Copies of this chain bind each other. A is one copy, B any other.
Amino acid sequence: MSLLIKNINEIYTANSENQIIKNAYILIKNNKINEIGQMKQLENKNLKYSNIIDARDNIALPGFINTHTHAGMSLLRGYADDLPLKEWLENKIWPFEKGLSADDIYWGSLLSIMEMIKTGTTTFVDMYFQMDKVAEIVKKTGIRAVLTQGLIEEKDGLQGLEKAKDFSLKWNNKAQGRIKTMFAPHAPYTCSPEYLNKIKNIAIDNDSAINIHIAETKNEFEFINDKYDYTPVQLLDSIDFFDVPVLAAHCIYVNDDDINILKEKNVGIAYNPLSNMKLASGIAPINLMLKKGINIGFGTDGVGSNNNLDIIEEARVGSYLQKVKNLDPTVINKEDILKMLTIKGARAANLNNLGLIKNDMLADIILINIKDNTRYYPHHNNLSNLFYAGSGNDINTVIINGKIIYHNNELISIDSEKVYYEVEKRSKILAQ
């Protein structure tokens, strides 16, 4: 299997020099990038390839990484909005979720995966339940994912730990290596330090990383502070939780000491601006954390609190929100966005060989047509047009692990009509 992408208008490599290669080609062999060059060099080469894409009028970027989702929640899109958090959770979200069957989660996650592929996300980090079902779809659809079975102490207990271990043994590195697993205690306010410690030890034994929500709300911060006299980050640090690689979602209520801990322990952060805004959780001090060199990616969170999975919109709003919070328009510029969506997101999610257009990296690449769309005119700067004017809808081609998954508005491996039918039918019953 080899694929040549030729006539690329510009390649945005996402490397530390912000390198752009104009009028270029990419040769993919199996699941990796094999060669990158300029079109004028191509004539003198005798490249062999089994498939070809003419990317005239397209720019190429590394596929985007959505560092925090709950894919199964797409069945809740539009089910409850604009409510106080407690009422939203207790009267709407939790009762609805209680009714979710494994098959409901299968179809909901498939709808989310469709939306993510179409909008340029090639890797997503998911935390939910019935993750076996999600793993099956990831295998089938060709997307890349970090799958983490959520653990709430009261609900899942010790039995949950065994199930999570089994899930990890069954799925880690499967689907041609596209699936990675992590252990996922829900949060420090739903898991005791003892429970968290057990999970940490299981992660060490299984050479695994951990995915967790930290300091998402003021209530959580106050609850932990009252109970343990620690901030959530310090509580976790006190049990050496960060001795394993950790991807922490939100981190809104963190102080300077917390940020130092996160940096020192190389914790990755998932920044979920739209969810944090819509639920009125607060604004994370992302600017300070970025300046410290912490690896931060963007996350959409679940559709119930977003309400879409468009990671470009997430990035744009995430950048603008930090600009206005800090009253400084230079914060999170477009090159920062590119890295957070790709290489920094990959690092935050503990993924190697991913997030750059560079030889020997995994071949996750997206193409965007810059010709037939008002939002890309004029062409002063294509990256600015993509991140500050464009939308996930503008993605033309998605290649994951060397395979074409989406091209010219066509999803290769998914029957959209069937997904819409199942999602609609199941949501109606669940809402009753």
Contacts and interface: CB of A to CB of B under 8 A. Distances in A.
Contacts of A426: 378
Nearest to A329: B280
Contact of A375 (B115, B328, B333, B381): B115
A431 B380 contact: yes
Contact of A81 (B218, B283, B334, B371): B334
Interface of A: 74-79, 81-85, 88, 111, 114-115, 118, 218, 274, 276-283, 303, 306-308, 310, 313, 317, 320-321, 323-324, 326-331, 333-334, 371, 374-375, 377-382, 384-385, 388-391, 393, 416, 419-420, 423-424, 426-428, 431
B81 A327 contact: no
Contacts of A279: 323, 329
Given A329-B83, A423-B378, A424-B379, A307 B78 contact: no
Most B C-beta atoms less than 10 A away, residue of A276, A328, A381, A389? A389
A203 to B, nearest CB: 33
B427 A374 contact: no
B81 A388 contact: yes
A277 B323 contact: yes
Contact of A380 (B77, B118, B328): B77
A123 B24 CA distance: 42
A77 B377 CA distance: 7
A308 B391 CA distance: 10
Most B C-beta atoms less than 10 A away, residue of A218, A278, A328? A278
Contact of A329 (B85, B374, B391): B85
A279 to B, nearest CB: 6
A281 B282 CA distance: 19
Contacts of A328: 84, 280
Nearest to A420: B377
A75 B323 contact: no
A385 B420 CA distance: 15
Contacts of A381: 78-79, 81
Copies of this subunit: 2
A334 to B, nearest CB: 6
A365 to B, nearest CB: 22
Given A77-B377, A79-B380, A118-B374, 6 more contacts: A77-B375, A78-B380, A78-B381, A280-B327, A280-B329, A307-B388
A380 B277 contact: no
Given A378-B77, A380-B79, A389 B276 contact: no
Nearest to A80: B380
Contacts of A320: 274, 277-278, 317
A277 B330 contact: no
Given A320-B277, A330-B84, A428 B378 contact: yes
Nearest to A281: B324
Nearest to A218: B327
B427 A278 contact: no
A425 to B, nearest CB: 9
Contacts of A74: 377-378
11 contacts: A75-B378, A77-B375, A77-B378, A77-B385, A78-B385, A81-B388, A84-B330, A277-B317, A280-B324, A307-B388, A379-B427
A413 to B, nearest CB: 15
B307 A82 contact: no
Nearest to A411: B374
B78 A388 contact: yes
Given A378-B428, A385-B307, A423-B377, A81 B324 contact: no
Contacts of A375: 77, 115, 308
A88 B428 CA distance: 51
B389 A81 contact: no
